[in-house]
Amino acid sequence: MSIIEWERDRIVLRLFGVKWDWAIEPRYWRPHIIGIGILVLTPIILYFVYPALLATFIEGSLLPCIVLPVILMLIGTGRFNFGPQFFVGVGGFTAGLLSIHFGLGPGITLIAAAAAGLVTGLIFSPLTLLAGGIYFALLTLLLPLIFLEVTFVFEIFKGDTGLSGIPFLFNFPNFTLNQLLYAFAALALMLIYLAITDRLLRSRYALQMAAINDDEEVANGLGVNISRIKILSFIGPAVMISIVGWFYAHYFGAFSGITYLPMTFMMKVFMALVIGGRGAWAIVLGGYVVTLIEVLLIRFAGDWSPILFPIIMLTLLLIFREEGLFGLYRKRHYRDYKPHFKITK
Amino acid (one-letter) located at 89: G
Residue 278 has pLDDT above 60, yes or no: yes
Q: 8 Cβ partners below 8 Å, 6+ apart?
A: none
The pLDDT score that the predictor gives to residue 343 is: 41
Residue 137 has pLDDT above 80, yes or no: yes
The pLDDT score that the predictor gives to residue 29 is: 64
Per-residue pLDDT band for 328 (boundaries 50, 70, 90) equals low
The arithmetic mean of pLDDT across residues 25-51, rounded, is: 84
CA-CA distance, 174 to 131, in Å (whole number)? 50
Angle between helices 175-201 and 54-77 (to 10 degrees): 20
The arithmetic mean of pLDDT across residues 272-292, rounded, is: 83
The pLDDT score that the predictor gives to residue 274 is: 81
Selected residue with higher pLDDT from 340 and 61: 61
The pLDDT score that the predictor gives to residue 341 is: 37
Residue 228 has pLDDT above 70, yes or no: yes
Single out the residue of 173, 192, 171 nearest to residue 69, CA to CA.
192
Least confident of 74-78, 161-165, 242-246: 74-78
The pLDDT score that the predictor gives to residue 3 is: 62
Residue 73: exposure state from Cβ atoms within 10 A (0-12, 13-18, ≥19): buried
The arithmetic mean of pLDDT across residues 216-221, rounded, is: 79
Selected residue with higher pLDDT from 31 and 22: 31
Single out the residue of 88, 52, 119, 28 nearest to residue 242, CA to CA.
88
Q: Indicate the average pLDDT of the chain.
A: 84
DSSP H or E run through 19:
strand 18-23
The arithmetic mean of pLDDT across residues 247-255, rounded, is: 95
Per-residue pLDDT band for 5 (boundaries 50, 70, 90) equals low
Residue 215 has pLDDT above 50, yes or no: yes
Per residue in 79-129, pLDDT tens? 888 889 999 999 999 999 999 999 999 999 999 999 999 999 999 999 888
Selected residue with higher pLDDT from 216 and 250: 250
Q: What are the domain boundaries of the chain?
A: 50-261, 276-345
Per residue in 39-49, pLDDT tens? 999 999 999 99
The pLDDT score that the predictor gives to residue 339 is: 39
